[in-house]
Amino acid sequence: MPTPPTYTRREAEQALGIKSRSAFWHLRNHYPQAFIVVHQGTDRGNVTLYDKAAIDKFVEVRAYLKGKS
């Protein structure tokens, strides 16, 4: 079974438009349903991969809600 498209943490930060690691962890802790771990990494050579579709959907919803307020 092929793995779904994924983002690394840095790619997810770029998609979300955030620049700091702490902002990423803040969002990940508050919205765990948007940061589905496909592969749990252990170090720099084996990074954690997040489901691209879930993060892209979160980016859309977040942009919509930011524009609404």
pLDDT tens profile 1-59: 677 899 999 999 999 999 999 999 999 999 999 999 999 999 889 999 999 999 999 99
**C-alpha of 16 from chain center:** 7
Which residue in this structure is represented by tokens 């489901």? Answer: 51
Is the backbone of residue 35 left (phi > 0), alpha (psi -120 to 50) or beta? beta
Query: What pTM was estimated for this model as a whole?
Result: 0.88
The first and second tokens of residue 56, run together, are 């892209």
- What would the two tokens of residue 16 be? 């979300």
Residue 51 in 3-state DSSP?
Answer: strand
Tell me the three state secondary structure of residue 35: coil
